[in-house]
Amino acid sequence: MGDGSWRLGVLGGSFDPPHLGHLLIASDVHACLDLEKVLFVPAARPPHKAIDEGTPAPVRLEMTRLAVAGDPRFEVSAVEIERGLVYTLDTVSAISRQYEGCELYFIMGSDSLLQFDAWHEPEAILSLCRLAVALRPGDDEREVEAVARGLGRGAAIVVKTAMTDISSRDIRNRVRRDAPIRYLVPRPVEDFVTARRLYKMT
């Protein structure tokens, strides 16, 4: 763990596409935990779910950069894509070396916390960072708090955020139906999806 001189949040995901739910989580966790930055890390190939649209990693990386552009609290890291990293442990290890001396908070939804014991080397992850857990709609807050406490004192912090039920899958399906996605994704992402004709049936 870092010396606490400054705090860095890490938010991983497929970001296919990045949407306002991602930005809301990052914003609230940034404020609640007094973070210096939140680092968005698009996945090269997430181990817990398939990127079933086949959207190339460089395209998802570009959309993520468009989504956070102009907000000084947020940055994007291509570390997983550039190095072909798969596991959270490898990602957190790489970031802790890159940002030496910071205190890392890995941001996840409460659904991920409830499955955390099945992740690759969860104890090693906790040796490098703390978990910042955003309570998802529909998850039992008492159960989530109990699981967080079970990881050890201060290992996981449950943060109440302005989370919504927006999902990347729903956005992709809306694009297929020619339904609007405005107010679900940042405008630059909407324009990018339209210009590239992403998620359209071919």
User: Which one-letter DSSP state was computed for residue 59?
Assistant: H
In a domain, 186, yes or no: no
Q: Report the predicted TM-score, pTM, of the whole model to 2 decimal places.
A: 0.92
Q: What is the mean pLDDT of residues 182-196?
A: 97
Domains in the chain: how many in total? Answer: 1
CATH of the domain at 90: 3.40.50.620
- The residue among 2, 6, 4, 10 whose CA lies nearest residue 90 is 10
Residue position matching structure tokens 């004709």 = 197
In a domain, 99, yes or no: yes
Q: Torsions phi, psi of 141, nearest 5? A: -60, -40
Q: What is the mean pLDDT of residues 62-72?
A: 98
Query: What residue numbers bound the domain in which 32 lies?
Result: 7-166
In a domain, 176, yes or no: no
Mention every residue, 6+ apart, whose C-beta is less than 8 A from residue 128: 1, 89, 92, 93, 96, 104
Residue 195 has pLDDT above 50, yes or no: yes
In a domain, 173, yes or no: no
Confidence of residue 138 (pLDDT cuts 50, 70, 90): confident
Mention every residue, 6+ apart, whose C-beta is less than 8 A from residue 34: 7
Residue 62 has pLDDT above 80, yes or no: yes
In a domain, 198, yes or no: no
In a domain, 30, yes or no: yes
Q: What is the mean pLDDT of residues 89-99?
A: 96
Q: What is the mean pLDDT of residues 121-129?
A: 97
In a domain, 80, yes or no: yes
Neighbours of 120 (CB within 10 A): 13
Q: Please report the pLDDT score of residue 1 as a whole number.
A: 42
In a domain, 187, yes or no: no
